[in-house]
Chain A
Amino acid sequence: MDYAAKVMDHYNNPRNAGKLDIASLNVGTGLIHVSEYIEVVRIQIEINPAKNIITDARFKTFGCGSAIAAASLTTEWLKGKTPEDAFKINNMDIVEALSLPPSKIHCTILVEDAVKAAINDYRHKNGLEALQEEALESNYELEGM
């Protein structure tokens, strides 16, 4: 299997691998798994509530190299975004950025879901209503959910 150089780069030097304080009110955690592929992605974000900006992001992945790269790349994108903008991250953006083959699209769906879950976890903790996916964005079948 020929992995794109971008995937190898993230695999060899994962960005923002690690953990944030799950108990902190400013931290949102999304932990998503797809049982068919036995993959698990955890995305965490730290939000500055005054500025409504994501100040930090961390990931951990149990899964193939593409799933690791997808989560790693996404944490780079998350920093500096508002939660509302981060919520719009689409898995196909990740597919494109990493030049992933169709067989690896499922890895990026997992990451997109983890981002959304992390944002809504933060909102839930802070008594905010969950953000909803717009109808337009739900074209992709959620596999194994």
Chain B
Amino acid sequence: MLKLPVYLDNNATTPCDPRVVETMLPFFTETFGNASSRNHAFGWAAEAAVDLAREQVAALIGADPKEIIFTSGATEADNLALKGVFEMYIDKGNHIITTEIEHKAILDTCKHLEKQGAEITYLKVNSEGLPDLKELEAAITPKTIMVAIMYANNEIGVINPIKEISAIAKRHGVLMMSDITQAAGKIPVDVDRDGIDLAAFSAHKLYGPKGIGALYVRRKSPRVKVTAQLDGGGHERGMRSGTLNVPGIVGFGKACEISLGEMEEEGKRLAVLRDKLENALLQLEESAVNGFRAQRLPHVSNISFRYIEGEALLMGFNKNIAVSSGSACTSASPEPSYVLTSLGLGDDLAHSSIRFGLGRFTTEEEIDYAIKAVTETVNKLREISPLWEMFKEGADMSSIEWSRP
């Protein structure tokens, strides 16, 4: 039985897995101790739970538990990585290389650092969403301290060649930082294999609770240090003060354990559903996938439907289907998605895009429903789109004769 509304926005956030919630519950009421309370049983129990969770989180990305710094989420972890490395390595240099299509937590932090004297290179990406590795290498200077490039993009799901990127960074003695938020728990991430020195991610993207995340900080070859951004009790090896969010950490650990165990099978299942959705929607004329199809997260599809506007499209079914659009038709923020425009999409196509993010609880019945609803709405809106009419009549779309008001 299909239950509405259907949730297909799992890149924004995921529901907590019930197994995660069940594991967390005792840590609100019974095992509520402060993990830093070293001299009584309540503290010891909390600490033991945090230790286990730290192992579970570390195992997901092939790290040592000591290399996991718990934070409030990926945004804080991104901030800590960028600002912390910039401050710690300022004697070595002030140059950081990133890409134009990073998450705002990276881009806005870079903008902040520029005001503090940092030099930031924002690499362009090609039409498939990938940076040019030659350009990356050419951008490295003696002042470069870090390359910060996401593992997989949140809007288009394209996976970066992190191993190749980190090899370039390593060759020049530059740290490799990656926001792995969208990739962790979805595809295999291994900090040693991938050559990552710092990695930011969060629990709520992998069926854990909101408000908890982590920064992986490499301890050996090289030993990486970051300057703390919060002063206080010196928790998390001095890198992140603040009483540990024990229930959140426990949930994060459980979520990582489940994701690691189910990743392979789940990835295959989601790829089948995603491909079904995508292939069906590509049957619509003038629809196209955004981003490199062959190298994507298995659960993401970003599609543009030319000659209709994304927000209008959503309006046709957003009571029953939750997705996200690359369009924002308000005078406050008239900008279409910067990720899509970086791919070289015109504003019109960027405005016509929809991101589908499938997840652990997505069923085939839901996908069938989405295919039907989206197809119907696209056809209906094209019926009333003057651009679609002109296109179908073979008009030259680049030289439309506009009226003068």
List the interface of chain A (C-beta within 8 A of B).
3, 8, 11, 14, 17, 19, 29-33, 35-42, 59-68, 102-107, 113-114, 116-118, 121, 142-143, 145
Contact = CB atoms under 8 A, between A and B. Distances in A.
Contacts of A117: 403-405
Nearest to B315: A65
A114 B403 contact: yes
B334 A37 contact: yes
A-side interface mostly: mixed
Nearest to B310: A64
Contact of A105 (B327, B331, B351, B405): B331
A103 to B, nearest CB: 4
Contacts of B331: 102-103, 105-106, 143
A113 B386 CA distance: 16
Contact of B315 (A3, A19, A107, A113): A3
A6 B80 CA distance: 47
Interface string B297-311: 000000000011101
B329 A39 contact: yes
B289 to A, nearest CB: 20
Interface in B60-116: none
A118 B405 CA distance: 9
Contacts of B119: none
B271 interface: no
Contact of B405 (A60, A65, A142): A142
Contacts of B384: 14, 17, 59-61, 68
Interface size class of B (residues with CB under 8 A): 20 to 34
The 5 closest A-B pairs by CB, nearest first: A117-B403, A113-B405, A103-B330, A60-B386, A64-B329
B403 to A, nearest CB: 3
A32 B315 contact: no
A59 B348 CA distance: 20
Given A8-B315, A117-B403, 7 more contacts: A17-B383, A40-B386, A60-B389, A61-B384, A64-B309, A64-B312, A65-B315
A131 B116 CA distance: 57
Contacts of B388: 62
Nearest to A30: B403
A31 B400 contact: yes
B332 interface: yes
A61 B402 contact: no
B387 A62 contact: yes
Contacts of B383: 17
Contact of B309 (A36, A59, A62): A62
A1 to B, nearest CB: 8
A31 B402 contact: yes
A103 B403 contact: no
A143 B385 CA distance: 21
A68 B385 CA distance: 9
A63 to B, nearest CB: 5
Given A11-B315, A61-B385, A62-B386, A145 B405 contact: yes
27 contacts: A11-B312, A14-B384, A31-B386, A31-B402, A31-B403, A32-B403, A33-B400, A36-B334, A37-B334, A38-B347, A40-B385, A40-B386, A40-B387, A41-B386, A59-B384, A60-B385, A60-B386, A60-B389, A62-B385, A62-B387, A62-B388, A63-B309, A64-B329, A65-B315, A107-B329, A116-B405, A117-B403
Given A14-B384, A65-B311, A32 B402 contact: yes
A57 to B, nearest CB: 14
Contacts of A106: 331
A117 B402 CA distance: 10
A27 B19 CA distance: 65
A32 B405 contact: yes
Given A102-B331, A117-B404, A38 B386 contact: no
A41 to B, nearest CB: 8
Contacts of A35: 347
B123 to A, nearest CB: 27
Q: Which of A31, A59, A107, A121 has the most CB of B within 10 A?
A: A31
A139 B387 CA distance: 30
A60 B308 CA distance: 11
A66 B315 CA distance: 10
Contact of B311 (A30, A41, A64): A64
Nearest to A65: B315
Nearest to A29: B403
Contacts of A14: 384
A32 B267 CA distance: 46
B135 interface: no
Interface string B188-208: 000000000000000000000
Contacts of B405: 32, 113, 116-117, 142, 145
Contacts of B265: none
A129 B143 CA distance: 67
B286 interface: no
B401 interface: yes
A38 B402 contact: no
